Protein backbone atom coordinates (compact mmCIF):
# COMPACT_ATOMS: atom_id res chain seq x y z
CA UNK A 1 0.00 0.00 0.00
CA UNK A 2 1.18 3.51 -0.62
CA UNK A 3 0.91 6.70 1.40
CA UNK A 4 2.14 4.99 4.54
CA UNK A 5 -0.91 2.73 4.67
CA UNK A 6 -1.11 -1.02 4.76
CA UNK A 7 -3.95 -3.40 4.31
CA UNK A 8 -6.14 -4.21 7.27
CA UNK A 9 -7.08 -7.82 8.04
CA UNK A 10 -10.48 -7.20 9.61
CA UNK A 11 -12.43 -10.41 9.80
CA UNK A 12 -16.06 -11.39 9.87
CA UNK A 13 -17.62 -13.53 12.52
CA UNK A 14 -19.74 -16.49 11.49
CA UNK A 15 -23.02 -15.51 9.81
CA UNK A 16 -24.90 -16.89 12.84
CA UNK A 17 -22.89 -14.76 15.27
CA UNK A 18 -23.31 -11.79 12.97
CA UNK A 19 -27.10 -12.28 13.01
CA UNK A 20 -27.06 -12.37 16.82
CA UNK A 21 -24.99 -9.19 17.05
CA UNK A 22 -27.31 -7.49 14.59
CA UNK A 23 -30.33 -8.57 16.62
CA UNK A 24 -28.69 -7.40 19.84
CA UNK A 25 -27.99 -3.99 18.32
CA UNK A 26 -31.58 -3.77 17.08
CA UNK A 27 -32.88 -4.64 20.57
CA UNK A 28 -30.67 -1.95 22.13
CA UNK A 29 -31.96 0.58 19.62
CA UNK A 30 -35.55 -0.44 20.34
CA UNK A 31 -34.91 0.21 24.03
CA UNK A 32 -33.45 3.58 23.08
CA UNK A 33 -30.16 2.52 24.58
CA UNK A 34 -27.81 2.05 21.62
CA UNK A 35 -24.79 2.77 23.81
CA UNK A 36 -25.52 -0.37 25.84
CA UNK A 37 -24.60 -2.48 22.82
CA UNK A 38 -20.95 -1.72 23.62
CA UNK A 39 -21.35 -3.33 27.06
CA UNK A 40 -23.06 -6.39 25.58
CA UNK A 41 -20.14 -6.76 23.20
CA UNK A 42 -17.50 -6.22 25.89
CA UNK A 43 -18.88 -9.02 28.05
CA UNK A 44 -18.96 -11.38 25.09
CA UNK A 45 -15.39 -10.47 24.13
CA UNK A 46 -14.18 -11.00 27.70
CA UNK A 47 -15.84 -14.42 27.70
CA UNK A 48 -14.31 -15.33 24.33
CA UNK A 49 -10.84 -14.09 25.32
CA UNK A 50 -11.00 -16.34 28.35
CA UNK A 51 -11.31 -19.33 26.02
CA UNK A 52 -7.95 -18.56 24.41
CA UNK A 53 -5.13 -20.30 26.27
CA UNK A 54 -2.92 -17.28 26.39
CA UNK A 55 -5.59 -15.12 27.97
CA UNK A 56 -7.25 -17.71 30.15
CA UNK A 57 -8.24 -16.11 33.42
CA UNK A 58 -8.69 -12.66 31.94
CA UNK A 59 -11.30 -10.54 33.59
CA UNK A 60 -13.42 -7.54 32.74
CA UNK A 61 -12.30 -4.36 34.38
CA UNK A 62 -14.84 -3.71 37.11
CA UNK A 63 -14.07 0.00 37.00
CA UNK A 64 -15.42 2.41 34.49
CA UNK A 65 -12.03 3.28 33.01
CA UNK A 66 -9.75 1.68 30.49
CA UNK A 67 -8.84 -0.98 29.69
CA UNK A 68 -12.03 -2.96 29.42
CA UNK A 69 -10.41 -6.38 29.83
CA UNK A 70 -7.21 -7.24 31.65
CA UNK A 71 -5.18 -10.41 31.13
CA UNK A 72 -1.95 -10.27 33.07
CA UNK A 73 0.29 -7.65 31.47
CA UNK A 74 -2.04 -7.18 28.53
CA UNK A 75 -4.79 -4.63 28.45
CA UNK A 76 -7.68 -4.75 25.99
CA UNK A 77 -9.76 -1.83 24.91
CA UNK A 78 -13.04 -3.05 23.37
CA UNK A 79 -14.92 -0.71 21.05
CA UNK A 80 -17.98 -0.87 18.87
CA UNK A 81 -17.80 1.89 16.34
CA UNK A 82 -19.66 3.27 13.35
CA UNK A 83 -17.18 4.76 10.92
CA UNK A 84 -13.76 4.45 9.48
CA UNK A 85 -11.71 6.21 12.11
CA UNK A 86 -11.89 6.52 15.86
CA UNK A 87 -10.66 9.17 18.25
CA UNK A 88 -8.79 7.78 21.25
CA UNK A 89 -10.02 10.33 23.71
CA UNK A 90 -9.19 9.99 27.39
CA UNK A 91 -5.98 9.36 29.24
CA UNK A 92 -4.83 6.52 26.99
CA UNK A 93 -1.16 7.38 27.14
CA UNK A 94 -1.05 7.01 30.92
CA UNK A 95 -3.06 3.80 30.89
CA UNK A 96 -1.09 2.37 27.99
CA UNK A 97 2.13 2.78 29.89
CA UNK A 98 0.83 0.53 32.68
CA UNK A 99 0.69 -2.52 30.38
CA UNK A 100 3.40 -4.23 28.46
CA UNK A 101 0.98 -4.88 25.63
CA UNK A 102 -2.19 -3.12 24.74
CA UNK A 103 -4.75 -4.20 22.17
CA UNK A 104 -7.67 -2.39 20.64
CA UNK A 105 -10.49 -4.81 19.80
CA UNK A 106 -13.07 -3.12 17.63
CA UNK A 107 -16.27 -3.99 15.83
CA UNK A 108 -17.34 -1.91 12.85
CA UNK A 109 -21.12 -1.67 13.27
CA UNK A 110 -21.70 0.45 10.18
CA UNK A 111 -20.83 -2.49 7.94
CA UNK A 112 -22.81 -5.65 7.31
CA UNK A 113 -21.56 -8.18 8.10
CA UNK A 114 -19.92 -6.57 11.12
CA UNK A 115 -16.14 -6.40 10.89
CA UNK A 116 -13.92 -7.40 13.80
CA UNK A 117 -10.36 -6.19 14.12
CA UNK A 118 -7.52 -6.26 16.64
CA UNK A 119 -4.82 -3.60 16.59
CA UNK A 120 -1.74 -3.29 18.71
CA UNK A 121 -1.75 0.08 20.32
CA UNK A 122 1.82 1.40 20.24
CA UNK A 123 3.56 2.92 23.22
CA UNK A 124 2.92 6.33 21.76
CA UNK A 125 -0.80 6.35 21.51
CA UNK A 126 -2.12 8.08 18.36
CA UNK A 127 -5.05 10.40 18.76
CA UNK A 128 -6.91 8.90 15.85
CA UNK A 129 -6.88 5.37 14.50
CA UNK A 130 -8.14 4.25 11.14
CA UNK A 131 -10.46 1.24 11.30
CA UNK A 132 -10.97 0.90 7.58
CA UNK A 133 -9.57 -1.28 4.86
CA UNK A 134 -6.18 0.23 5.49
CA UNK A 135 -4.28 0.99 8.69
CA UNK A 136 -1.59 3.54 9.25
CA UNK A 137 2.01 2.41 8.87
CA UNK A 138 2.72 2.85 12.56
CA UNK A 139 0.01 0.44 13.69
CA UNK A 140 0.20 -3.33 13.73
CA UNK A 141 -2.62 -5.75 13.23
CA UNK A 142 -2.65 -8.68 15.66
CA UNK A 143 -3.83 -11.09 13.02
CA UNK A 144 -3.40 -14.20 15.17
CA UNK A 145 -5.53 -12.86 17.97
CA UNK A 146 -8.00 -11.56 15.41
CA UNK A 147 -8.44 -15.04 14.01
CA UNK A 148 -8.60 -16.79 17.37
CA UNK A 149 -10.92 -14.20 18.85
CA UNK A 150 -13.16 -14.35 15.78
CA UNK A 151 -13.53 -18.11 16.19
CA UNK A 152 -14.06 -18.02 19.93
CA UNK A 153 -16.43 -15.08 19.81
CA UNK A 154 -18.50 -16.78 17.11
CA UNK A 155 -18.65 -19.97 19.15
CA UNK A 156 -19.52 -18.05 22.31
CA UNK A 157 -22.33 -16.10 20.72
CA UNK A 158 -23.70 -19.14 18.91
CA UNK A 159 -23.74 -21.06 22.21
CA UNK A 160 -25.77 -18.45 24.08
CA UNK A 161 -27.90 -17.38 21.10
CA UNK A 162 -30.90 -15.19 21.56
CA UNK A 163 -30.78 -15.63 25.34
CA UNK A 164 -27.86 -13.22 25.12
CA UNK A 165 -28.95 -10.97 22.27
CA UNK A 166 -32.45 -10.47 23.68
CA UNK A 167 -31.34 -9.86 27.26
CA UNK A 168 -32.91 -6.76 28.76
CA UNK A 169 -29.62 -5.29 29.99
CA UNK A 170 -25.87 -5.86 29.74
CA UNK A 171 -25.86 -7.27 33.27
CA UNK A 172 -28.51 -9.79 32.35
CA UNK A 173 -26.56 -10.68 29.22
CA UNK A 174 -23.45 -11.27 31.33
CA UNK A 175 -25.43 -13.57 33.62
CA UNK A 176 -26.60 -15.49 30.58
CA UNK A 177 -23.00 -15.90 29.46
CA UNK A 178 -21.91 -17.07 32.88
CA UNK A 179 -24.88 -19.39 33.35
CA UNK A 180 -24.88 -21.08 29.96
CA UNK A 181 -21.15 -21.31 29.52
CA UNK A 182 -20.34 -22.52 33.01
CA UNK A 183 -18.10 -25.53 32.62
- Residue 3 C-beta: closest distance to another protein, Å: 14
Which one, 41 or 102, has the nearer CB to another protein? 41
| Local structure of residue 66 (DSSP, 8 states) | S
First to last CA, the chain: 45
Which one, 95 or 139, has the nearer CB to another protein? 139
Which one, 113 or 126, has the nearer CB to another protein? 113
Which one, 48 or 71, has the nearer CB to another protein? 48
Alpha helices in the chain (DSSP H): 15-30, 36-49, 92-96, 143-165, 170-180
Residues that bind another protein (CB under 8 A): 7-8, 10, 12, 14-16, 18-20, 22-23, 84, 111-113, 115, 132-134, 155, 158-163, 166, 180-181
- Residue 36 C-beta: closest distance to another protein, Å: 20
Would you say 48 and 177 are in contact if contact means Cβ atoms under 8 Å apart? no
- Residue 108 C-beta: closest distance to another protein, Å: 8
Phi (first) and psi of residue 151, to 5 degrees? -65, -45
Radius of gyration for the chain, computed over Cα atoms and rounded to the nearest angstrom: 16
Q: How far apart are CA 124 and CA 15, in angstroms?
A: 36
- Residue 30 C-beta: closest distance to another protein, Å: 15
Amino acid sequence: MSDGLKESTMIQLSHAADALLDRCLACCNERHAPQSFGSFFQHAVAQALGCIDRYRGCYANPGAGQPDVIAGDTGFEVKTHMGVSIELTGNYAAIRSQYARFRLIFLRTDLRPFQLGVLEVPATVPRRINLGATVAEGLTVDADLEMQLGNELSATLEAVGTDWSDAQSPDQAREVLQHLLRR
